[in-house]
Amino acid sequence: MIDDLYAAQFTVRGETQSLQQWRTQPILVINTATQCGFTPQFAGLEALHKKYAEQGLKVLGFPCNQFNNQEPESDQNMAEVCLLSHGVSFDLTHKVAVKGENIHAVFKALTQLAPGIMGSKGIKWNFTKFLISPDGTSIERFGSTTKPEAIEPKIIALLKTIN
């Protein structure tokens, strides 16, 4: 299962990447959508990215259109909306499935390794967040309503383990 966590995915620019390249860093993974009620969280996620990227935090958005068609944009348009409307400069992948039959390997691993409330495996909505420790041995899951600022103390603690 841990190998699936580091499965390859494609960026919005069509480049192949893997969480493996950041395996020695804390990684914050979020399933995003540009037309969701939680979209204002982009500002908090971007703030975390800007504040902690140089110290080693990797923020990575995985856009998803599985919740009420809230990410209908093409990869290119979605990236432009994220940048122009929300100031997002952290990396985004192409759109992926975060639940169901075609679930992306990264989310299959995350949902198994870090279940939600009462052990639920599935992702219930956009902006579910996963904080992965630098060695991948610890993964913490945060629901859609958890604001990025609330995760900051946990990020700081993980950064202290590498700096």
In whole angstroms, give the CA distance from residue 12 to residue 100: 22
In single-letter form, the type of residue at position 49 comes to: H
Among 88, 83, 96, 125, residue whose Cα is nearest residue 19: 96
Radius of gyration of the chain (CA): 14
Is residue 36 annotated as a catalytic residue, yes or no? yes
Q: Are 134 and 25 in contact (CB under 8 A)?
A: yes
* CA nearest to 161, candidates 142, 141, 140, 136: 136
Question: How far apart, in whole angstroms, are the C-alpha atoms of residue 146 and residue 153?
Answer: 13
Phi, psi at 142, each rounded to 5°: -130, 135
Name the catalytic one among 36, 88, 98, 109.
36
- For the annotated catalytic residues, the residue numbers are 36
